[in-house]
Amino acid sequence: GPGAIELVAALRAAGLGAGSRVLFPAGDRARATLADGLLEAGAGVERVEAYRTLPLAVDAAACAAQVDRGEVEAVTFASPSAAEALARALDLNRFRHLLARLAVASIGPTTSAALAALGRRADAEASIATFDGLVAATAAALVSRIPTVAGGSPR
């Protein structure tokens, strides 16, 4: 995504190029953007699978009950695979129904695009793809759902 493109540009500016060697630990579902950018810069890339994304076991009825009881107000997504796994685990219709009732925050544009493809746009997206950024986006998503009075201020 955009973060990988920016990282390659920063590495090039720092001197990455022909003869450089890069160890690239990545997940089994990692996009090729970063590795491709490093190769295009002339670097040798050794990609190592550092982790695997595994299926998620979710009790859909328990999730729905927690939302119904008001125990959950927001959901955060730190990767496209997390959004896709939850949609599969709940089934797409239940995923859309439950998330329509919650504030939804995304860690960045790639994850937001995955959410949109699943039928639920993020209410807020982290301005920087870190967990601090995701916390700030979650707060913004929650605030965006507060009803306002005629003057535009929260109730």
140 C-beta neighbours (distance < 10 Å), count = 16
Looking at the structure, tell me whether residues 130 and 64 fall in a common domain: yes
In a domain, 25, yes or no: yes
The pLDDT value recorded for residue 151 is 60
Where in the sequence is the domain holding 101, given as residue range(s)?
A: 60-144
Looking at the structure, tell me whether residues 85 and 140 fall in a common domain: yes
In a domain, 155, yes or no: no
- Exposure string over 50-77, b if 16+ CB within 10 A, otherwise e: eeeeeeeeeeeeebeeebeeeeeebbbb
The pLDDT value recorded for residue 53 is 84
Looking at the structure, tell me whether residues 43 and 66 fall in a common domain: no
CATH number of 118's domain: 3.40.50.10090
The pLDDT value recorded for residue 4 is 85
Looking at the structure, tell me whether residues 138 and 67 fall in a common domain: yes
Looking at the structure, tell me whether residues 34 and 82 fall in a common domain: no
The pLDDT value recorded for residue 154 is 61
Number of domains into which the chain is organized: 2
Looking at the structure, tell me whether residues 39 and 11 fall in a common domain: yes
The pLDDT value recorded for residue 14 is 94
Looking at the structure, tell me whether residues 121 and 68 fall in a common domain: yes
The pLDDT value recorded for residue 155 is 53
Query: Would you write out the chain's pLDDT as a tens digit for each of its 155 residues?
Result: 667 888 999 999 999 999 999 999 999 988 899 999 999 999 999 999 999 988 778 898 999 999 999 999 999 999 999 999 999 999 999 999 999 999 999 999 999 999 999 999 999 999 999 999 999 999 999 999 888 666 665 65
The pLDDT value recorded for residue 142 is 96
pTM score of the predicted model: 0.72
Looking at the structure, tell me whether residues 92 and 133 fall in a common domain: yes
Looking at the structure, tell me whether residues 79 and 47 fall in a common domain: no
Looking at the structure, tell me whether residues 85 and 42 fall in a common domain: no
Looking at the structure, tell me whether residues 64 and 130 fall in a common domain: yes
Residue that has been written with the tokens 């950024």 in this structure = 133
Looking at the structure, tell me whether residues 25 and 70 fall in a common domain: no
